[in-house]
A and B are shown apart, each in its own frame.
Chain A
Amino acid sequence: MCMSDSEFDVVVIGGGSTGTAVARDCAMRGFRTLLLERDDIASATVGTCAGMISSGLKYRSEPDIMKMCSTEVVHLNRIARHIIMKNPILTPFRDLSDVGSDMEYVESYSEHAEERDVPEMMFLTPEATIAIEPLLHPDVVFSVYYEEFFIDPFRLCLLQALDAKRHGAEIKTYCEVIGFETVNDVIQGVVFYNRITGTTEKIGAKIVVNAAGPWAPKIAGFSGAELELRLNKGAHIILDRRVVNVGISVKALDGRYIYLFPHENTTLLGTTALDTWEDPDSLVASFDEIEYLMRSIETYIPSIRDARIIRTMAGVRPLVADWKVPEGKVTRGYQVIDHENGLISFTGGKLVMCRHMAEAVTDIVSKKLGNDSACTTHEKPLPGNEADVDVEALSAEYGVSMHALERMRARRGTEMTKILELTKDHPEWKTTICTCEPIIEAEIRYAIREEFPQTLNDLRRRLRLGTGPCQGTFCTYKAASILSEELDLQGDDFLVDILDFRAERWKGIRPSMRGEQLAQEELAQGMYSCVGNLDQSDVDYDLKPWEEGV
């Protein structure tokens, strides 16, 4: 074991929305902070969520949580507006009897609408409804209109991590916590396996925050503590481009609500909610989940099957362990559990409340370590949100198309000028690498240098590389060669990374593959097998659980 004499005030385990928010808050309050993530930032649950920073309207039985959600939306709009989009949303009804007690939503939503700068819920006539969304079933009798905000969950986590770093925290990805060092059952240090160096390391820690999402019970177990979660699977179907003009939320076949939300340049259809005991690492969307979503939305958008499904994604909600109630009745709040052994864990929570969760736990940390500096995470902007960006002016100045820059702006805000500066010395870096997003070479180089990715999948999370309709048919090799050059990867690493990236795409593509995506996949296969000869490659690569053997 490689011993390190560094000692941290706080070690945060998990680089999802929660862990990165905690690391940021701790670092901003002056604690020596280390974040350990076994994979990449935002590589687990948070990356499969819809990114809705919701008003919390579904939690009308929990008024405090609704209030908290609303306040968090205001904060996020202050600190990260460059990665936030507003979605107007319609909930259409075909039958008045479908409405039931749902009208209570109207009141609960409207209660905090003003502070979020959105209107109260409104009712629309069938004519107005169809004019706004002609894909809707002509039998709609009325609809309810409201507005919600959506954030890029990957960028949020990454920006929180980068901001933590700027405030002195250390962020270590590909470092999996495998145990604790304890004295009298009290944690003194954290033991982790560094997947990049292939070594086991140990560091000292005064307090450890367990933000491992669905894996939190395992982490607690390392310290001898017990922690229970109610794991609940959720799947999304991702459609090519924005196929609806506004978000559509409808009552599903089982009476829950599901939605079709324009998200960035795609549309998300989700979600399911199934109690699960599967391994969260190898989960894929099931046939039943896909059909449930399709059939449910079909009752309101009859032509939905004509739309092109590009892939699916599935994740696990780490809910508070309330049992004997349906999933929808489980509190959406979070709990902070102090195991009294140097470890503090979370259960429950949501993306929208990650900053709030971090504040709560950092308050506890402060108390324990005797620090009384106040939380400022809701006031200080995240990187890139310092000012507005004039895309037209930048396009004229640097000679990159406005659309490429508008997409870059949505990822990076003011940070984008640093990328464009690179093109002054390297005009050839204006080349488009990912055609669908699009992404230029300079941004890939910048991300590799400044945002600590190790793999193509890490680049995808930072840049939306390979997330468009062609699902990486063309960008993979190009991006891989840039990554190899920057990180000095050897030939086999290069191929394994390409295989990993393809495998990860395949995980989402395979369950829903049909229609137009079949033609796309045929072309991708041609590219990778017939042109790239990847199927004949003899590199050392282990098939993933969702891949079939030869």
Chain B
Amino acid sequence: MNEDEAFEYVKNTLRKEKITPYHSHELEVVKSVERCINCGLCISHCPVVAAVGVDRFSGPRSIAVELSRSPPEFWSTADVVYLCTGCGTCREVCPKNVDIPEVVNLIRARIFEHRPDLVPKSLHVLREVLTEYYLAFEPWEDKEEKNESRDMRLERLGLPFVQDKILDKAEVLLYPGCQAEERAQEVREAAKVILDHFDVDYTLLDDMSCCGLPSRLMGDHETERVLAKQLKEKVKKLGIKTVVTTCAGCTSSLSDISYRNEWGVPAVHILEFLAEEIGLEKIDSATKGSTEFSDVHVTVHDPCHLIRHTSRQITDFALDILRQLPGVKVTESEANDSCCGGGGLVSYHSDDVAKAVVKENMEAIQKTSADRLVTPCPLCTAQIESNLFKTGSSVEVDDLTVFIAQRLPKKR
């Protein structure tokens, strides 16, 4: 056997033994999990454990001290690791900074590679959509219908329509993410309203494609790489200076890939862009005059992907902005930073778990007696809204980008 044949042989043996060698970029994560001292702090904070109990989801400690120890056995963790919402609460409370959400991704990637039959079926369906359309949702068949849906939403929310701007070169790329592109179109529209209002030189992609987070979360590294590469090429071509997004998941995912794949361009949430680039004063003076709205009592939900995967600073910005909006009263909920259950693709295959997780948020929201919940993420919005609706709550839910855009005076 020559050396190449030998390498092929070895790779084949490793496959049979279900070993995917750790890549050098994964070693940091593996090292982090070696630090676990089994103190159990994380279990008492994990929202999934709290919601469904350790018999269903053995929790972050078990991921650290038990499930992540032996790669040839990773396949057998499939009944557990797909239930982690990736909220990052465990990592935040861990005295040893064990990076559980990333370990979960690392394990899922091995399961996806060696035992795809143990990956929840609905994730395979999602994968097919991603590989066919490069989007996390099947796009609208009929563009007219899509526009109608958009217009209905705009009308209901009292938002003006701003034409799509698709340029060859711009300062800012507005990246709405799959949810706002295909489903929660009002969020994408609201972002346009905001950027347009402050005369930002921005563009949309002429061909929106997913950042790859869903692929990463299901363990499909191959599709993740394809999507990340595509996006990098698009970003590079535009010569932009900043990527602005309205989705919490996209914020953390884009920051991550822009760093890993050396985009040389930061990716920020629109709240951060507003606070840091536009400035609170400008927002203040822009919204001062708006009298269209009656007083509203809101409470805020902090998306995990912002506070724990990016920075808690972003929701501080959210509060800063909300507090200076006229007629807006903010009451913090007891569970403002508790995972809504919508993360980690859990709701795709185990909706009962996702629902059990969001219950804590529901109760805390009711307790604030606010009329409205706002959150800077279309996915959290959808998860909380549908669950509040089902419990017959009168609390309304708005994406925060929409909420802010509504309060800007209509231009021209």
Contacts and interface: CB of A to CB of B under 8 A. Distances in A.
Does chain A bind chain B?
Answer: yes
Interface of A: 85-86, 88, 119-120, 122-125, 128, 131-135, 145, 147, 240-243, 245-246, 262, 264-266, 306-308, 391-392, 395, 399, 401-403, 405-407, 430, 432, 435-438, 468-470, 473-474, 516, 519-520, 523
Interface of B: 1, 3, 6-7, 9-10, 13-14, 17, 19, 21-24, 27, 30-31, 33-40, 54-55, 58, 61-62, 65-73, 76-80, 96, 118
A473 B39 CA distance: 9
A406 B35 CA distance: 24
Contacts of A132: 10, 14, 21
Contacts of A437: 66
B73 A407 contact: yes
Contacts of A520: 37-38
A392 B118 CA distance: 10
Contacts of A147: 13
B65 A307 contact: no
B217 to A, nearest CB: 20
Contacts of B1: 119-120, 122
Which one of B6, B31, B71 has the highest number of Cβ atoms from chain A below 10 Å of its Cβ?
B6
B37 A88 contact: no
B70 A265 contact: yes
Nearest to B39: A523
A516 B34 contact: yes
B116 to A, nearest CB: 14
Given A125-B3, A435-B38, A520-B37, A241 B70 contact: yes
Grouping DSSP codes into helix (H, G, I), strand (E, B) and loop, the B interface class, with mixed when no group exceeds half, is helix
A266 B65 CA distance: 11
A519 B10 contact: no
A227 B313 CA distance: 75
12 contacts: A120-B1, A124-B6, A240-B34, A240-B69, A308-B35, A399-B55, A403-B66, A403-B76, A403-B80, A436-B65, A473-B38, A474-B40
B6 A128 contact: yes
Contact of A469 (B3, B9, B31, B65): B65
A405 B38 contact: no
B96 A519 contact: yes
B9 A119 contact: yes
A88 B70 contact: no
A242 B69 CA distance: 6
B71 A245 contact: yes
B6 A403 contact: no
Given A402-B78, A519-B35, A520-B38, 13 more contacts: A86-B17, A124-B3, A124-B6, A124-B10, A265-B73, A307-B34, A401-B80, A402-B76, A403-B76, A436-B69, A469-B34, A473-B37, A523-B37
A470 B69 contact: no
B368 to A, nearest CB: 37
Given A122-B6, A265-B69, A516 B37 contact: yes
B55 to A, nearest CB: 7
A366 B10 CA distance: 46
Contacts of B69: 240-242, 265-266, 436, 468
Contacts of B78: 402
Contacts of A519: 35, 37, 96
A391 B79 CA distance: 12
A515 to B, nearest CB: 9
A271 B39 CA distance: 32
Contacts of A406: 73, 76
B6 A123 contact: yes
A492 to B, nearest CB: 28
A432 to B, nearest CB: 7
Given A128-B6, A241-B70, A402-B77, A438 B62 contact: yes
Given A401-B58, A516-B37, A245 B21 contact: yes
Contacts of A124: 3, 6-7, 10
A406 B61 CA distance: 19
A464 to B, nearest CB: 11
B7 A128 contact: yes
A438 B37 CA distance: 15
Given A134-B22, A245-B21, A516-B35, A88 B13 contact: yes
A306 B36 contact: no
B166 to A, nearest CB: 42
Given A469-B36, A516-B34, A405 B76 contact: yes
Contacts of B39: 523
A135 B38 contact: no
Given A133-B21, A241-B70, A436 B13 contact: no
Contacts of A134: 21-24, 27
B31 A306 contact: yes
Contact of B77 (A119, A403, A470, A523): A403
Given A403-B73, A436-B66, A88 B21 contact: no
A86 B37 CA distance: 29
A116 to B, nearest CB: 14
A302 to B, nearest CB: 12
B113 to A, nearest CB: 14
A240 B10 CA distance: 25
A123 B69 CA distance: 29
Nearest to A470: B38
A335 to B, nearest CB: 37
A169 B396 CA distance: 75
Closest 4 CB pairs of A and B: A470-B38, A122-B6, A265-B69, A406-B76
Contacts of A262: 70
A122 B10 contact: yes
B38 A474 contact: yes
A395 to B, nearest CB: 7
B22 to A, nearest CB: 6
B14 A245 contact: yes
Contacts of A241: 30, 33-34, 68-70
B66 A122 contact: no
A401 B56 CA distance: 8
A435 B66 contact: yes
B14 A435 contact: no
A308 B34 contact: yes
A360 to B, nearest CB: 34
Contacts of A523: 37-39
A86 B3 CA distance: 22
Nearest to B57: A401
Contacts of A307: 34
Contacts of A473: 37-38
